[in-house]
């Protein structure tokens, strides 16, 4: 519990405390980016999330700061990913046979076929 004096002190310096908390959060965020990676491990686009390589729940509690601290304490358990690759990783983890098929997948040829299909669909 806060005493009256502490409350008074807080209210008087409220702005300062808020600034301090914001700076602290920004510093943590920057450190996470430096240590865990600013680009996606798979496609090298800017990273948007951190995937736990063991599949352990990584949204710990509600506090953003707690989550950032957790990431830093367990940095070696995480990989930086973009949203698309993250979704794909989880999809392939639950459909591992697709991963094997993708090994022979020619993306350019598939794209050629898909573009034709889409053009045809739009014009019909």
Report the interface residues with Zn ion, using CB under 5 A.
40, 42-43, 51, 82, 85
Q: Which two tokens stand for residue 29?
A: 């965020």
**Min. distance of Cβ 38 from Zn ion in angstroms?**
12
Instruction: Name which of 18 and 56 has its Cβ closer to Zn ion.
Output: 56
Which helix (H) or strand (E) segment holds residue 31: the answer is helix 14-36
Instruction: Name which of 42 and 72 has its Cβ closer to Zn ion.
Output: 42
**Min. distance of Cβ 79 from Zn ion in angstroms?**
9
Q: Interior CA angle at 67 toward 65 and 69, to 5°?
A: 70
**Min. distance of Cβ 70 from Zn ion in angstroms?**
14
Cα 11 to its chain centre, rounded Å, is 35
The DSSP secondary-structure symbol of 39 reads: B
Instruction: Name which of 26 and 56 has its Cβ closer to Zn ion.
Output: 56
């Amino acid at each position: 519990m806060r005493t009256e004096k502490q409350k008074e002190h807080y209210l008087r310096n409220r702005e300062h405390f808020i600034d301090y908390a914001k700076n602290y959060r920004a510093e943590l965020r920057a450190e996470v980016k430096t240590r865990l990676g600013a680009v996606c491990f798979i496609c090298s686009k800017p990273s948007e999330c951190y995937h736990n390589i063991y599949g352990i729940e990584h949204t710990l509690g509600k506090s953003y700061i707690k989550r950032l601290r957790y990431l830093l304490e367990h940095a070696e358990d995480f990989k930086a990913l973009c949203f698309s690759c993250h979704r794909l990783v989880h999809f392939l983890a639950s459909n591992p046979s697709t991963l094997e098929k993708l090994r022979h997948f020619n993306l350019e040829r598939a794209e050629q076929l898909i573009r034709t299909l889409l053009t045809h669909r739009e014009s019909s």
